[in-house]
Structure 1
């Protein structure tokens, strides 16, 4: 029997939106870092290693994180969660690489809309099959309408970049890379959420995510260097502003690990991508206000409407109250 819980979903949804707002800044930093460091893989690896270093320091300082690392061995031996969940870090590596590859060719707005549309579809699938720690979530008419409005708002926001990029082969490839990143990132968050529950530590789950991410990127960089696709290593010393990409990535992963058990994949995704579009709009207003169109502003407002609809209850009040099985 389900009983009302006094905890509110308004705060975690707001936290998801806040984390989403910072995602475009991470994408912008990673994309520009590729020009300085000698390639896309180098930029993604630098972001991943920076994140890993921060998390290792946190693991030493936080008692729960130290306990989580000790519990990792038992979880691995007993297969409390499938061992292939470690691949969540590889998905994270791909997402960082997709940022570096795509933003320079299609821009922040179009990268955002590609990720938004794809992750909305995969989030619905995850909630239907019960892959996230929240278990199976009802895909009600209200949630479907909210997701559809969110995608429409994202397309409106990026309509001008879409029409201008359609004839460029590099833009088409970058768009496909971004779509795949959006499809995979919901699965990554669900895997990390289950891992966080198994280890009893968000820090441990996030640290393992970046450990696998860094390892995957080193292998990819080695292969690219051997094939003369991209040089191995860095061509320049990282600038101070490049160090911020790592902590921003940590915030994104930690948000997923912490909130997906409470909100489910679809509602978490709606909060994150709404923040992502708001962040893209804010960055555009700061960096190039002359390029901000009415479409971008209107599309962002439509996505805010989608969040409200997805959280609405049939009794006419927002679904701010969570429920749990008693």
Structure 2
């Protein structure tokens, strides 16, 4: 009996330690937003900032992948799979979601602040997760809409309204807050696409590298058009830490991949979301964004977003069966 009690205590302590580690890993998201936001302000061009961030992440991943023969072979086979349609082609373009988020960081964080940005982003991700579950994107079964999930979606909208409330008299600020919200809405299909590419290549490292490549091509191509048309100038920042946006994103992905084995998806999602929101508020307190003071509405909105995420992440017992003749579970 004492042996079982001791084993349970060790397991509880292990889960608690992993949960704390996940909260800290979640804090890397706000740090990345802060770096990319400052980079956008430094370059006076959020688009250029997103290209710098993506390029650094891509270079690091290429160094890892191209130096290993197995990974290199799998990576160079992906264009052929895309052309042949080995898996639905949309899976290969999931990197566009990450590009949207990083682009919105460079454009809007300098004006909104990290806390508002992260709350709007998470609110969009909550709604995206519910919709993706309902449509069966990235999950084995379609999950029906339930009262808790609808409540989570509504609370996510309330959270977004709360964080933008202080800016009702500034329409341009509202427009900027829409960017991370839209990025969050697109985020649901990114892990689904990356997962399928990872299965195809038998390596998530290859999938992540492809993700960065797609985002870089999209952002870099658009910036090149702007430069050639005389609507933008490309120059690099002179401050070393402004190049850390990409590495911070990679560190977050790597830590989540390790921690999920000990926590499971639900607890990992809740702890990482808590880390994002706590971290965003701490960043705003320690390193406030010029002209974007932390308001009580933002704090309340962050709490509401966390509650919304907690409710929306709870699995529902109701699934939608595509083949009713094979099962009695129907909604």
Q: Please classify the TM superposition score into its range, dividing by the shorter chain length.
A: 0.7 to 0.9
1:41 corresponds to: 47
Task: Say if 2:71 is the partner of 1:69.
Answer: no
Distance in 1, Cα, partners of 2:154 & 2:45: 36
Residue 101 of structure 2: aligned partner: 95
Change (3 A) 1:186 1:14: farther
- 3-state SS in 2 of match to 1:229: coil
Shift of 1:99: 0.7
User: Is the Cα contact below 8 Å between 2:119 and 2:305 reproduced in 1?
Assistant: no
**Secondary structure of 2:87's partner?**
coil
Pairwise CA distance, 1:253: 5.1
Q: What's the offset of the Cα at 1:114?
A: 2.1
Distance (Å, rounded) in 2 between the aligned partners of 1:121 and 1:309 = 11
Residues 151-191 of structure 1, C-alpha deviations (whole Å, 9 max, x = no match): 545655x3xxx233222232132122222212112222221
The answer on whether the counterparts of 1:119 and 1:183 sit within 8 Å (CA) in structure 2 is yes
How far did residue 109 of structure 1 move?
2.3
Residue 111 (structure 1) aligns with: 117
Structure 2 distance, partners of 1:256, 1:58, is 18
> In structure 2, how many angstroms separate the alpha carbons of the residues matched to 1:153 and 1:172?
14
Q: Which residue of 1 aligns with 2:221?
A: 219
- Residue matched to 1:242: 242
Partners of 1:63 and 1:279 in 2: CA distance:
38
Residue in structure 2 matching 1:167, options 166, 169, 172: 169
Name the structure 1 match of 2:5: none
Higher RCO, 1 vs 2 (CA within 8 Å, ≥6 residues apart): 1
- Name the Cα RMSD after superposition: 3.8
- How far apart are 1:200 and its partner, in Å? 1.4
The verdict on how the C-alpha distance between 1:16 and 1:193 changes in structure 2, with shifts beyond 3 A counting, is farther
Shift of residue 205, structure 1, vs aligned partner:
0.6
- Cα 1:19–1:31 change in 2 (3 A) is same
Q: Provide the TM-score with structure 2 as the length reference.
A: 0.74
Stretches of structure 1 lacking an aligned partner (at least 5 in a row): 1-7, 315-326
Contact 2:123 2:159 in 1 (8 A): no
Contact 2:33–2:105 (8 Å) recurs in 1: yes
- Residue 49 of structure 1 and its aligned partner are, at CA, apart by 0.8
Rate the CA distance shift 1:304–1:84 in 2: closer, same or farther, 3 A: closer
**Change over 3 Å in CA distance of 1:203–1:313 after alignment to 2:** closer
Q: How big is the shift at 1:224?
A: 1.5
* Structure 1 equivalent of residue 31 of structure 2: 25
Quick one: structure 1 residues 193 and 19, their matched pair in 2 at CA, closer, same or farther if it must change by over 3 Å? farther
Q: Which digits, 9 at most, give the CA deviation of each residue in 1:189-245, with x for residues without a partner?
A: 2211222122211110110011111111121112222343322x21x4442102210
Q: Gaps spanning 5+ residues in structure 2: where?
A: 1-13, 317-331
1:55-81 CA-to-partner distances (Å, cap 9, x unmatched) read 112214567634642653664465332
Contact 2:40 2:110 in 1 (8 A): no
State the TM-score, normalizing by the size of structure 1: 0.75
Q: Which has the larger radius of gyration?
A: 2
- Please tell me whether the aligned partners of residues 13 and 268 of structure 1 are also in contact (alpha carbons under 8 angstroms): yes
